[in-house]
C-alpha cells in the first residue's frame, strides 16, 4: 500500500517537472493585438491600413516599403520639449541594437506636419546621426497621420492648444510584424519597456526563422 502511494507520488512529481520543462522550452510567441474576425476559412487579424507619406529624403513611404520588414513605429514632433527627446533617445537604442538586422526598420511620424517639413525632418535625422534607409521620419496630410495613429495603431495624437507644446500624444512605441499586424506596445519613455521591445524583436525574428 505504502509503495503504491509512493509510486503515484513519484509519477505525479515527474509529470509536474516535465510539464514545467515543456513550458519553458516552448518558444515564446508574441500576442497579436486588435480585433479579429473569421472569414469562414481563416482568422482575419487587425492590420495597419494603407498609407502614403513622405520621408526625410522625399521618398514615398507606403505599406509596400515595409513589405517583408519588421518595423517599430511612433508619433512625435521635432519642436516637442516634453516626452519626445526621451522617446528619440530610447528609439536610438532600438536603432543601435538592430543595426545588423536589415529586415528591422523604424518609422517615426510627425504629428505637426505643418511645421515639420521634409527639409526639417531631414535636418533632424541628420543631427540624430541616423540613416534614412533604416529610420524613416515621415510627414503627410495631418488628417491621414491622425487617422492612422488612432484607428490603425491605437495611439493618441490630438492637436490641443491648451497643452504646453500644442499637442496631446502618447509616447507609445509599436512593434509591427511582416504582415502589418501589431505585435507589441511599449512606453517609449521607459527604459525597461524599451528593453522589452528590443528582446521582443528577437522573438519576432524567430517566427521567420531568422
Partner 1 sequence: MDCKLIYFLTLLSLGFIVNMSLLRCDFRDPKFKIYYVEGQRLYNQYCSNCHSITGNGLGQLYPPLIKSDYMAANINKVFCLMKYGISDSIKVNGVVYNRTMFGVPSLTELEIAEIATYIYNSWGNEKGYVDVSTVSKAMKDCNAKN
* Residue ranges in contact with partner 1 by CB under 8 A: 81-83, 85-86, 88-89, 92, 124, 126-129
HSE (side-chain half, CA atoms, 13 Å) at 6: 3
Q: What span, in angstroms and rounded, lies between the C-alpha atoms of 20 and 170?
A: 38
| Nearest-approach distance from CB 76 to partner 1, in angstroms | 12
Alpha helices in 26-83 (DSSP H): none
Of 152 and 189, nearer to partner 1 (C-beta) is 189
Element (H, E) at 184: strand 182-187
| Nearest-approach distance from CB 53 to partner 1, in angstroms | 22
DSSP 49: P
8 Å CB contact between 186 and 33: no
Of 66 and 124, nearer to partner 1 (C-beta) is 124
Of 30 and 92, nearer to partner 1 (C-beta) is 92
Of 103 and 165, nearer to partner 1 (C-beta) is 165
| Nearest-approach distance from CB 109 to partner 1, in angstroms | 18
Amino acid at each position: 500500500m505504502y509503495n503504491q502511494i509512493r509510486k503515484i507520488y513519484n509519477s505525479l512529481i515527474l509529470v509536474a517537472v516535465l510539464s514545467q520543462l515543456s513550458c519553458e522550452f516552448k518558444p515564446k510567441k508574441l500576442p497579436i493585438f486588435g480585433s479579429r474576425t473569421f472569414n469562414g476559412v481563416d482568422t482575419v487579424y487587425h492590420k495597419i491600413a494603407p498609407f502614403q507619406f513622405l520621408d526625410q529624403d522625399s521618398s514615398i513611404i507606403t505599406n509596400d516599403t515595409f513589405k517583408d520588414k519588421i518595423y517599430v513605429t511612433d508619433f512625435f514632433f521635432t519642436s516637442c520639449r516634453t516626452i519626445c527627446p526621451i522617446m528619440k533617445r530610447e528609439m536610438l537604442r532600438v536603432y543601435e541594437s538592430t543595426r545588423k538586422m536589415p529586415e528591422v526598420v523604424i518609422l517615426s511620424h510627425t504629428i505637426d506636419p505643418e511645421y515639420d517639413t521634409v527639409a526639417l525632418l531631414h535636418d533632424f535625422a541628420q543631427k540624430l546621426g541616423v540613416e534614412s534607409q533604416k529610420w524613416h521620419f515621415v510627414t503627410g496630410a495631418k488628417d491621414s497621420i491622425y487617422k492612422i495613429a488612432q484607428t490603425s495603431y491605437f495611439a493618441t495624437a490630438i492637436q490641443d492648444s491648451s497643452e504646453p507644446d500644442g499637442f496631446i500624444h502618447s509616447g507609445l512605441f509599436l512593434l509591427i510584424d511582416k504582415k502589418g499586424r501589431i505585435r507589441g506596445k511599449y512606453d517609449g519613455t521607459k527604459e525597461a519597456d524599451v528593453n522589452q521591445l528590443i528582446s521582443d524583436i528577437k522573438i519576432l525574428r524567430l517566427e521567420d526563422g531568422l
